[in-house]
Amino acid sequence: MDLRLNSALNVIEVAPSSARRLLHAVSMIRYRFFLYAGLLPYLLGGAWAYGVQGEFDGPIFWSGLLGVALAVVGVESFNEYFDARLGTDRVFNSADLPAIADSVLWLGVVAFVGALAVGLYLTYRGGWLILAFAVLGGLAAIFYVAPPIRWAYRGLGESVIGLSYGPWMVSGSLYAQTGRLSWDVLFASLVPGFLIMALAVVNNIPDFHQDRLVGKKTLVVRFGRKAAVTLYVGLASLGIAIAVGGALFGFFPKGCIATLLGAPLLVMSAKVARNSYEQPKQFVQAIRCIVACYLVSVSLFTFGCFVHGIS
């Protein structure tokens, strides 16, 4: 009787435990990352197709958006899992962090498989070049921190992020809609590309010591925190300048000049960063301001492209 009771209790405990592990894995996917990393560059490609080139395919758009969402889940899961396994997040506070669950890795695997399925469907609908964009994005995402490549540990992480969520994402989104590429949209893709590269740099400034100790050769580790502040401010400024300059000289719709409204947030971020780059807690405000700058700038740039097709 006791043996049967214990067996029954064990069965009851397995399901909640598995559910908790899965819930923990899902909770590690930061919703903000969907917005500023995956969603906005993809929307920019769609907005350019509709507003500038006058073409839009609803089923293709929503299928691609699903693929982007799955890819971002995969990126976040792999980053959390391999950073924890490689010790990056546990240098100074290992006792405070629970062991990383294998379910986080498997969540990433399932998400990437789903993203690949969407990519194959879009390739069937739109041509082999879509698969090329999917493969490039996959290699960037999977091996950002995963072995054997580990882009982030080789000093290439920020560049890979800039390319993935700039030229590759925007151009891939446009090509899925229109079956064509253009130099203008490649130029436009530099706006989110430089801005998100700035985000990648600024996010690594508070992690300077732990990244250096585990051999993660970010640009912040290579050049130091003070130089990294100048670097991220320069990258973000370049992204905004391209948007405004392109609109003034006729490469982009005139409404894209509104991107300049993100500049005051960049100025606020720079002021905080220059006084607090060695103080992680105070530096948080600089990160919040540059995130807001990205959201405002890229959203207004995308909206300027979109309304061009309405006016």
Domain holding 221, by residue range, is 31-308
For residue 68, the domain's CATH number is 1.10.600
* Block residue for tokens 């700039």: 166
Residue 206 carries which side chain, given as an amino acid letter? P
Please report which residue ranges of 144-262 form alpha helices under DSSP H.
Answer: 157-163, 169-178, 183-204, 208-213, 219-223, 225-248
pLDDT digits (tens, 9 = 90+) for 109-158: 888 899 889 989 998 888 888 888 888 877 877 787 777 888 878 888 88
Query: Average pLDDT in the 97-114 region?
Result: 76
* Phi and psi, residue 144, nearest 5°: -60, -50
Q: Write the DSSP symbol of residue 98.
A: P
- Determine the Cα–Cα distance for residues 130 and 48; give it in Å rounded to an integer: 17
Any idea which of 40-44, 71-75, 161-165, 189-193 has the lowest mean pLDDT? 71-75
* Secondary structure of 134-161 in HEC code, one letter for each residue: HHHHHHHHHCCCCCCCCHHHHCCHHHHH
Residue 133 carries which side chain, given as an amino acid letter? F
Contact assessment for residue 158 and residue 200, using Cβ atoms and an 8 Å cutoff: yes
Say yes or no to pLDDT of 31 above 80.
no
Any idea which of 148-157, 168-177, 228-237 has the lowest mean pLDDT? 148-157
- At 34 the three-state DSSP class reads helix
Percent share of the chain, pLDDT over 90: 41
Residue 8 maps to a domain: no
| pTM exceeds 0.85 | no
Query: Average pLDDT in the 153-180 region?
Result: 88
Give me the number of domains the chain comprises. Answer: 1
Residue 197 carries which side chain, given as an amino acid letter? M
pLDDT digits (tens, 9 = 90+) for 241-270: 999 999 999 999 999 999 999 999 999 999
Residue 170, pLDDT score: 93
Residue 18 maps to a domain: no
Residue 280 maps to a domain: yes
Contact assessment for residue 123 and residue 63, using Cβ atoms and an 8 Å cutoff: no
Residue 106 maps to a domain: yes
Residue 24 maps to a domain: no
Residue 25 maps to a domain: no
My answer on whether omega of the bond before 167 falls inside 30° of 0, hence cis, is no
Residue 133 maps to a domain: yes
Closest CA to 277 of 198, 204, 197, 199: 204
Contact assessment for residue 202 and residue 270, using Cβ atoms and an 8 Å cutoff: no
Q: Beta-carbon neighbour count of residue 99 at 10 Å?
A: 8
Residue 15, pLDDT score: 41
Contact assessment for residue 310 and residue 304, using Cβ atoms and an 8 Å cutoff: no
Residue 7 maps to a domain: no
